[in-house]
Amino acid sequence: MNPKRKLPIGIQTFRTIREEGCYYVDKTAHVERLVEEGAHYFLSRPRRFGKSLFLDTLKEFFEGSEALFEGLAIHGRRDWSVRHPVLRLSFGYGNFKEPGYLHRNLMAQLDAVERRTGVVCEYTTAPERFACCLEALHRETGQRVAVLVDEYDKPILDALTVPEVARANRDFLRGLYSVVKDSDAHVRFTFITGVSKFSKVSLFSGLNNLTDITLDPGCSAICGYTDADLDTVFAPELPGLDRDEIRRWYNGYGWLGGEKVYNPFDILLLFRSRKFAAHWFETGTPTFLIDTLVKRGVGSFALEGMAGTDALLSTFDVDDMATEALLFQTGYLTIRDHKRLGGRTVYRLGYPNQEVRQSLNDSLSRHLAGDSTRQMANSIRLYELLEANDFAGLKTLFHAFYASIPHQWYTNNDIARFEGYYASVFYSYFAGLGLDVKVEDSTSRGRLDMAVRFNANVYLFEFKVVELEPEGAAMSQLKERRYADKYRHLGQPIHLIAVEFSKEARNLVAFEVERTA
């Protein structure tokens, strides 16, 4: 087995990783392919997925830092004497909610470019100065420029709560990126990364030769770690950790490639702490996301099995953020599978792994509970009641929880969505505990609303709204469609649980339980 190396936690600099002997997953074959096949690229990936490190690898590649690439896939396949100037921009820091700050931030970055390279451009407007720098770098070196832009969308995302500033930042960036196409004679290569995929018409209309590789199967593992990477590069870190649990907790992100990938940040923190926890999720509390889901009445029950087309998953703008696109681009849902329907591809989405499913549902239930103390008490009580199969206690717990939800929520939602909403509350609490939960579980006779396996027991839930269906409809459906048959082979006690709600009462009005062998 190879010796242990330094874990590159928080290191986004390729040179540092290579010179300090850190673990490194070789992505240079992707560098070679992109440089050979094209010139202008865009890549969207969730936060902390290694985009900045890949961008820095491109920087060292174009600058001809041969020693850093020794032993890597690309080393013997490049003429290292050919060096290109690099103009790199990053919007990873700063207060972009402040009107006019984006222009000052960019001008400061161009100041740094000029100091480092010795070129001088005296324009006081950013697009003109950017174009001048590209031309001057080409003229001074005799080689065209590699343009690398990191976190291109952060000035917009940070300002979403101030829409007028977000729109101004978007329009400013549109003008900036159009410079790349107009300066094509001076640009050898472009690589732009971010979390969100803003539609080309809103942001990249001036850069219509940009190739989007976000869903390119050949680039699905351009960022992130594969199972093979863990078993080879990180083999010294695996002893003492349950390999199946690593997969269950952290694997599962897919961008149409042949295999799923892990978020690198999760894996590195797991190896350091030796604990399974929500390492990635906890670094960025998705307040905006949770608020948006609640405002739109999108419950967690609806998140498993969401579907979207190419157009829908790309529909992201300040004034037009499709829920599916928001969840997919930020990494809270990923592509499970896809198929062609007529002339378009439809993608089925779902939670990527245990970390996201558990943490996102925990956040949703905490939001609805109103405070974290109450939510934690409810979660602990739920676990204890389920351990004891205390169904009367479960009914009392959920009745009290629904009674505590603010009246304003109900005034913003129609009855047609109530069943999904009430079911989502159940799902969020069970999933937030990390239990084995399935929604819309298919059987030969239909779809069961929710199945929970816990403590050598099976719990089958059916939810109904009494204003929409007759009393007793939930238990009748559980029995008539024989949902329990799918689970009898387990040889475990099966509990049929019929839960009925009322819009008028704003609470559950029936909680019927029957056990079947």
Nearest to 330 by CA among 299, 291, 284: 284
| 158: three-class secondary structure by DSSP | coil
Burial of 274: CB neighbours in 10 Å, binned 0-12, 13-18, 19+: exposed
- How far apart CA 172 and CA 317 sit, in angstroms, is 14
**DSSP class per residue in 8-66:** -TT---HHHHHHTTB-----HHHHHHHHHH-SEEEEE--TTSSHHHHHHHHHHHHTT-G
**430 CB contacts (<8 Å, ≥6 apart)?**
382, 437, 450, 452
What pLDDT score does 406 carry?
62
Sign of CA dihedral 106, 107, 109, 110: positive
What pLDDT score does 298 carry?
81
What pLDDT score does 308 carry?
86
What pLDDT score does 415 carry?
41
- How far apart CA 89 and CA 130 sit, in angstroms, is 11
What pLDDT score does 416 carry?
40
What type of residue sits at position 400? A
Distances in Å between the alpha carbon of 21 and those of 5, 14, 84, 192? 7, 11, 26, 28
Q: What's the pLDDT tens digit per position in 385-403?
A: 999 999 999 999 989 888 8
What pLDDT score does 252 carry?
96
**223 CB contacts (<8 Å, ≥6 apart)?**
27, 43, 45, 49, 50, 51, 54, 261, 264
In sequence order, what E strands does 94-173 have? Answer: 145-150
- How far apart CA 236 and CA 368 sit, in angstroms, is 43
Supply angle C-alpha 221, 327, 302, rounded to 5.
Answer: 120
What pLDDT score does 257 carry?
81
Q: Which structure tokens are listed for 495?
A: 């509990």
H or E segment at 488? none
CB 214, CB 152: distance < 8 Å: no
What pLDDT score does 409 carry?
53
Strands 145-150 and 86-90: parallel
**310 CB contacts (<8 Å, ≥6 apart)?**
215, 344, 345
CATH topology of domain 389-516: Trna Endonuclease; Chain: A, domain 1 (3.40.1350)
- Top CATH class of 26-219 equals alpha beta
What pLDDT score does 207 carry?
67
Verdict on whether the full-model pTM lies above 0.85: yes
- How far apart CA 313 and CA 327 sit, in angstroms, is 9
Supply angle C-alpha 457, 336, 292, rounded to 5.
Answer: 85
Q: Where in the chain is the domain with CATH 3.40.1350?
A: 389-516
Q: Where in the chain is the domain with CATH 3.40.50?
A: 26-219
What pLDDT score does 344 carry?
87
Sign of CA dihedral 224, 326, 42, 63: negative
The residues of the chain scoring below 70 in pLDDT are: 1, 199-208, 285-286, 315, 406-419, 442-444, 517
What pLDDT score does 313 carry?
79
Q: How many residues does the chain have?
A: 517
